[in-house]
Chains A and B, each alone.
Chain A
Amino acid sequence: MMNIAIIDYDCGNIQSLTNAIEYLGYEVNLVNNPNELYKYNKLILPGVGSFDSGVSSLLKTGLFDEIINWVENEENKLLGICLGMQLLCNSSEESSKNIPGLSLIDATVKSLSKYRSNNEKVPHIGWNNITLKKTPFKSFIENTDFYFVHSFAVFVNNENLSLAKTPFSHIYFDSIISNNRNIFGMQFHPEKSHIHGLNLLEDFFIHA
Chain B
Amino acid sequence: MLKNRLIAVIIIRDGKVVQSEKFQHTNVIHYDAYHAVESFNRWSVDEIILLNVSKEKSSQEEFLSIVKRVSKTCFVPLAVGGFIDSIEYGSRIIKNGADKIVINSLWFNDVTIVRKLANKFGSQCIVASIDIKNTDFGDKVFINRGEYNIEKELGYWSEYCEKNGAGEILFNNIDYDGNRKGYDLESIKKITQQVSIPVIAFGGVFTWKHLLEGFEFGADAVAAANIFHYKEMATKQARRFLLKNNVSLRDI
Give residues in A with beta carbon < 8 Å to B. Answer: 13-16, 19-20, 22-23, 48-50, 53, 83, 116, 120-129, 143-145, 147-151, 167-168, 189, 191-195, 197-198
Contacts and interface: CB of A to CB of B under 8 A. Distances in A.
Contact of A147 (B74, B77, B167, B249): B77
Nearest to B123: A123
Contacts of A23: 72-73, 75
Interface string B11-49: 000000000000000000000000000000100101000
B207 to A, nearest CB: 24
B122 A50 contact: yes
25 contacts: A14-B95, A15-B94, A15-B96, A19-B75, A48-B124, A53-B119, A83-B122, A116-B196, A123-B123, A124-B2, A125-B167, A126-B3, A127-B3, A127-B250, A144-B251, A148-B2, A149-B125, A150-B124, A151-B122, A189-B77, A189-B99, A191-B75, A192-B99, A193-B76, A195-B75
Contact of A143 (B74, B98, B251): B251
Q: Which 10 A-B pairs have the closest CB atoms?
A: A145-B250, A127-B250, A15-B97, A123-B124, A127-B3, A149-B124, A121-B198, A128-B2, A49-B122, A123-B167
A198 B120 CA distance: 27
B132 to A, nearest CB: 21
Contact of A19 (B4, B71, B196): B71
B72 A127 contact: no
Contacts of A124: 2
Interface string B175-217: 0000000000000000000001110000000000000000000
Chain B interface helix/strand/loop/mixed: loop
Contacts of B100: 149
- Classify chain B: how many residues form its interface, as a range: 35 or more
Contacts of A13: 94, 97-99
A194 B252 contact: yes
B239 interface: no
Contacts of A83: 122
Contacts of B46: 126-127
B77 to A, nearest CB: 5
A14, A121, A124, A167: most-surrounded residue (chain B CB, <10 A): A121
A13 B1 CA distance: 26
A116 B2 CA distance: 13
